[in-house]
Amino acid sequence: MRAEEQIFEATEYIERNLVSTITAPEIAEHSCLSLRQMYRLFQKHTGDSVQSYVRTRRLTEASRQLIESPRNILDIALEFQFQSAEVFTRAFRRLFWVSPKNFRSIGSPYNATQRNPMTPSDLSFITQSCTHPPKIIELPQLNIVGHHCIQPHYSIRVDDNPLHNAMMLEEVQRYQQQIGNKVDAQPWHVSWRQTSNMTFHNLNNFFGVHVSEPDKHPSFFSSLRIPANTYAVFSHSSSQTSVDFTIMLAHHWIKNSQYHYGDGPALFRAHDNQSQVGELYLPISKQLSSYMDWWQGYDAFLTQK
Instruction: Return the pLDDT at 128.
Output: 65
pLDDT < 70: residue spans in the chain: 1, 107-113, 125, 127-132, 151-178, 193-202, 216-218, 237-244, 272-276, 288-305
Instruction: Return the pLDDT at 276.
Output: 60
Instruction: Return the pLDDT at 114.
Output: 76
Domains in the chain, start-ordered, CATH in brackets?
A: 3-119 (1.10.10.60), 135-304 (3.20.80.10)
Query: Using H for helix, E for strand and C for coil, what is the string for the chain?
Result: CCHHHHHHHHHHHHHHCCCCCCCHHHHHHHCCCCHHHHHHHHHHHHCCCHHHHHHHHHHHHHHHHHHHCCCCHHHHHHHCCCCCHHHHHHHHHHHHCCCHHHHHHHCCCCCCCCCCCCCHHHHHHHHHHHHCCCEEEEECCEEEEEEEEEEECCCCCHHHCHHHHHHHHHHHHHCHHHCCCECCCCCEEEEEECCCCCCCCEEEEEEEEEECCCCCCCCCCEEEEECCEEEEEEEEECCCCCHHHHHHHHHHHHHCCCCEECCCCEEEEEECCEEEEEEEEEEEECCCCCHHHCCCCHHHHEEEC
Instruction: Return the pLDDT at 15.
Output: 96
Instruction: Return the pLDDT at 274.
Output: 52
Report the predicted TM-score, pTM, of the whole model to 2 decimal places.
Answer: 0.64
Q: For residue range 118-167, what is the model confidence (pLDDT) as tens digits?
A: 888 777 767 666 556 789 999 999 988 888 877 655 433 444 454 455 66
Instruction: Return the pLDDT at 113.
Output: 67
Q: For residue range 155-189, what is the model confidence (pLDDT) as tens digits?
A: 334 444 544 556 666 666 666 666 777 788 778 88
Instruction: Return the pLDDT at 198.
Output: 45
